[in-house]
Every structure is written in structure tokens, then in C-alpha cells.
Amino acid sequence: MHPIVNEDLEYITSVKIPWGDLEGKSILIAGANGFLPAYMIETILFLNDHRFKNKAKVFALARNKERILVRFSGYGRRKDLVFIIQDVCSPLKISKRMDFIIHAASQASPKFYGADPVGTILANTVGTANLLALAVKHKSEGFMFFSSGEVYGEMAPGQESIKEDAYGLVDPVLIRSCYAEGKRAGENMCVSWSHQYGVPVKIVRPFHTYGPGMRLDDGRVFADFVSDIVNGRDIIMKSDGSAVRAFCYLADAIAGFFTVLLKGSTAQAYNVGNDEGKISIAELAKVLVDIFPDKHLKIIRKENEYAPGYIKSKIPMNVPDTSKIRQLGWKPFYSVKEGFSRTVRSFKSE
């Protein structure tokens, strides 16, 4: 295990969360190949190795067998990690009771919104229906849906941060809306199943999250910047850099997700992001270049040169208000500078 990943897992499991609620339980995590859910799986395995006497068992559901075997190749053949290879949109035939179900199966990169809008929206609607039905059948004690900060749409100009009950425009006839509208529908399905069938759903809305293990070909700007630094290339700015985002380091986000799962209120949504990490894209590029002065890298502007299929966001500012999750005892620990330094170093030393 990479030293930075090990440090992250030590930090996450040190956060005051009722981890014992997971001990000895069966936990289904859909979208297990994904950047965020994969770290959740590693957190549970770390708890099994260092805290739990009665190990939890993780059932990792993913479409791509080769990718998941590569992603978890360092874990060998563990009895507490079981792979289920199938599409979440196909009927689920899982007979063993799942105590907890985490639905994180979704394409999150904008480069897929134009190339596969149907696949993007189906995972968040049909896939959500399949997993909720499983939760009803198994009388699961916990269900968490990964939504997104994109559900808020275009907010009023000048709005500094977004509370969970504030919503702006999402135009349903724009192709890029396949993601936001899919997440909005998935959220309402969750609260509907909770109301009608008693499923104990929790909803998390992650904002821009980065860290070890992120795909450098993800297509999002912060992934492009990290890729440039890791590979010793000048940073290419494809916009004017004025858009403001709140960047949250992966370890902080994972601690937030488990906080909501184990301490959050049923049928409620929680922003998970670092509102202290608010920064413009242009400022982020400068921070990254300045962290590694020995590389002598520059920032080069080539506006409007986007990859095929990429549909850029029209939202100038996307910053969460995190007061709701902070009431559960969570708060971010890593600054933007430290988080991105750890991220780059996690790739450099591999």
C-alpha cells in the first residue's frame, strides 16, 4: 500500500464515527471501480485489519472485471472482499442479506455526458430502483445514494455558497443535464422508497473531490492539472480560469460519507465538500505550479480546446455550505495546498 494511502486510511478511521455499526456486517458497494467508492472499500478493509474482531464483508459490484481486479490487486484473495461483476441497471440476483447498500455507480466525468448520456442517466434511475428494491427485500439497515453538487444547477449570480435546500436552473433539454437530472431523479426515488417502504436512505452530494487513485484521464480540469504536474508538463488552461470551485481532499470526503451513513438523518441530503477550499481554476493552476517549483513549469492558456464529447459547465461558482454535515461532527482537515501536494506525490512515487 502506498504510504500516503495508508496515512489517509489511518486518518479516516481515527475520525469519531460509530465504526462499530459496520463490524460483522455485509456491505454492498455498487460502482466499486469508482474513485470514491473504491476508497470506501479500502477503509472497511483497513478497519477489518486494525479494529474489527468480527470482520465486515464487502461485496464490490462493478461492470468491468479486469479493472476491478487491477484496482484491488494489492489485496490478494481476501475472504472479506467479494466481487460481483454486472451492470447495476440489470436485475440484481443477490440472495445474501445486505445490511448496508451504497449506490455510487455512475459516470461522473463530463467527458461521458456527451458520449453516453443514456448510460449516465440510467445508472442513476434504473440502477437506483434496482438497489432500492434490494434494500426493501433484505430489510437493509442502511442505504446511501451518491448524488452530486450538480443537482443545484445554475444559482443566482453572486451566491457565495449553496445550502441543501437551494436550487437553481437545470435545463432538461440540454444533453449535459443527463447527469444532474439523473441525480435529482435518483434522490427523489430514494425519499419515495423511504416514505413508502421504510428504506433508511441517506443522500450525499459530493463536490469536487481529488486525491490518490483519481484517474488522470478523468477529463475534469483538476485531473488534467494533476496529470500535467505528475508528467512534468506545463499546465494547459482551456478556459479563462474564472470559474470558482470548492476542492475537497479524498480522505476528508470519505470521512464525510461514512459520517452521513452512520450518523445522518433518514431521507436527508448532505453536502460533502470543502467550503474552505474555495478557489478559482486559475488560482488552482498557480497553486500547483508553485508547490513544485523544481519542475519549472508554466501556465499556458489555450481557451476552448476541449476533448471530443466534453461538455463544459455553465456554472461560474459551485461551493457548498457544509453547516449541515458539520452538525454531525465532521469538518475538513486538509487544505487545498496540502491535499494537492499529497495527491501529486502519491502518483510520483508509485
Question: How is residue 224 written as a grid cell?
Answer: 488534467
Q: Model confidence over 46-91: pLDDT tens digits?
A: 999 999 999 999 999 999 999 999 999 999 889 999 999 999 999 9
Q: Most distant CA pair in the chain: distance in Å?
A: 59
Question: How is residue 117 written as a grid cell?
Answer: 448520456
pTM for this model (two decimals) = 0.93
**How distant, in Å, are the alpha carbons of 138, 202, 303 from that of 143?**
11, 6, 42
User: Residue 316 has what pLDDT?
Assistant: 73
Contact present, 251 and 185 (Cβ < 8 Å): no
User: Residue 217 has what pLDDT?
Assistant: 87
Where residue 161 falls among pLDDT bands split at 50, 70, 90?
confident
| Beta bridge mates, 272 | 206
For 190, residues 6+ apart whose C-beta sits below 8 A from its C-beta are: 128, 132, 143, 145, 199, 201, 203, 267
Does the pLDDT at position 229 exceed 80? yes
User: Residue 349 has what pLDDT?
Assistant: 60
Does the pLDDT at position 11 exceed 80? yes
**Length of the chain (residues):** 350
How is domain 3-215+248-277+320-333 classified at the architecture level of CATH?
Answer: 3-Layer(aba) Sandwich (3.40)
| Among the listed residues 150, 145, 179, 180, the one whose alpha carbon sits nearest the alpha carbon of residue 37 | 145
User: Residue 240 has what pLDDT?
Assistant: 83
User: Residue 308 has what pLDDT?
Assistant: 53
Q: Model confidence over 128-160: pLDDT tens digits?
A: 999 999 999 999 999 999 999 999 988 777 677
Mean pLDDT of the chain: 92
User: Residue 309 has what pLDDT?
Assistant: 52
- Residue ranges of alpha helices (H) inside the chain are 3-14, 35-50, 65-71, 111-115, 117-138, 177-197, 221-230, 250-263, 281-291, 323-326, 336-348
For 278, residues 6+ apart whose C-beta sits below 8 A from its C-beta are: 244, 245, 246, 319
Where residue 311 falls among pLDDT bands split at 50, 70, 90?
low
Radius of gyration of the chain (CA): 19
**How distant, in Å, are the alpha carbons of 80, 163, 287 from that of 298?**
46, 37, 12
Choose the weakest-confidence range: 41-50, 210-219, 321-330: 210-219
Residue 248: alpha-carbon gap to chain centroid: 10
Q: Model confidence over 261-310: pLDDT tens digits?
A: 999 999 999 999 999 888 999 999 999 999 999 999 999 987 665 555 54
Where residue 236 falls among pLDDT bands split at 50, 70, 90?
confident
| Among the listed residues 117, 109, 119, 121, the one whose alpha carbon sits nearest the alpha carbon of residue 175 | 117
| Among the listed residues 185, 62, 172, 208, the one whose alpha carbon sits nearest the alpha carbon of residue 122 | 185
User: Residue 191 has what pLDDT?
Assistant: 98
Contact present, 155 and 314 (Cβ < 8 Å): no
Q: Model confidence over 175-217: pLDDT tens digits?
A: 999 999 999 999 999 999 999 999 999 999 999 999 999 999 8
User: Residue 304 has what pLDDT?
Assistant: 64
Does the pLDDT at position 313 exceed 80? no
* Mean pLDDT value across residues 320-335: 97
